[in-house]
Amino acid sequence: MQPGCFQCFNSLCMGLKKSKPRRFEGYDGLTSDEVSKTFQTAVTEYNSIHGDSVTCIDKFAPGTCVTGSKDKSVVLFDWKQGIPLHRWTGHTRDVTKVKHLGSTIYSSSRDKTIKAWQAHKNDPLLTFEGHRLVVTAIDLNDEGTLLFSGSRDNCVRLWDTTRKTSVSETEVSRNLVSCAKWIPGTQTLVAQTGEDKMLRVWDTRNMQPAFTFPAQQYFQTYCDCSRDGQFILTCSNGFNGKGCEATLWDVRARGMICRYIGHYQTTSACIFLPHLEHVSSKDLIATASHDSTVKIWEREGRECVTTLDCSGAGPLMDLCAWDDGSICVSTTNMGVYQCMLDSCEGKPQLTKKCHF
């Protein structure tokens, strides 16, 4: 090509343009149509909202979530606009759990406190102090008047959010609490897991266990309750495929129904998914693991119907889901992925949509 020759330059450009379809058509065995579909499902990238691992997440309004991080902050994020709506920075150590009720957001921390926040107000509305070690579990009753918390100090506490005081406290030896969830449809019952390998159901009227499920072989890391209050889902630690499972429990029968086995490292979170008829006629659950995968399972059939690979994200930390099929997963190394559970060729499929 002669310097300054536009005819030669145009010929070269046309050659490059013509070569692209042939190049892609055989790339890794993909057809041009498949490549096009890959481009259409590209992940939207937003600026990172945290400067360290995102330890916990909770759904807020549609298109928004609340996150907590090792960077000591709590963030309300709108992934449809790609912007943080508010950031709170009152904790002095890692945030361990976040939970919201209405417009009020609660967070627990390794600084041994629980704080309540509201949007557009930087200072905490309330600070609850009393636990002697890191607070690892929080949840509220439907009215938001009672807050249940658990800690690695072997204690569970009940707080009156209207009076800003601790109502009662119970200590159980070796009960290093990992998670707690208020059982829907009940005013008094809370499910709680811990490192003593037990699933307890607490009666908040006397802060004593109403009943306890059989002890498991591995630490119980997380729990969730079905919307009808009839089932509890738990998961466990483990390694090399041993442990690393989720378990479904029947509240009324007070017994185990089944296990979900397939992760290779600690299963860190498990949730019941909203029923999505366009995705599956069957009820589904989701699990997240330190093996960097999210798995979707048939609740009754125990079959894993789809797996999302988050390689490079490190251990996955927490999950939450919305009624439109959106699922967010928080990670150790790569912030948060917002995904969509949909149907592809008649089968459930979980796809990453955006990353922040």
Reference 189, options 130, 142, 222, 153; nearest CA is 142
CA dihedral 223, 226, 228, 230 (to 10 degrees): -60
Question: pLDDT tens across 202-255, in order?
Answer: 999 999 999 999 999 999 999 999 999 999 999 999 999 999 999 999 999 999
Q: Which two tokens stand for residue 16?
A: 């490059």
Sort strands 135-140 and 126-129 into parallel, antiparallel or unpaired.
unpaired
CA distance 71 to 49: 10
pLDDT at 26: 33
Q: pLDDT by residue (tens digit) across 136-195?
A: 999 999 999 999 999 999 999 999 999 889 999 999 999 999 999 999 999 899 999 999
CA distance 83 to 354: 12
Q: What is the mean pLDDT of the chain?
A: 90
**DSSP assignment of 15-39, as one string?**
HHHHHHHHHHHTGGG--HHHHHHHH
Question: 127-130: long-range contacts (C-beta < 8 A, 24 or more apart)?
Answer: 127/90, 128/159, 128/164, 128/166, 130/157, 130/166, 130/169
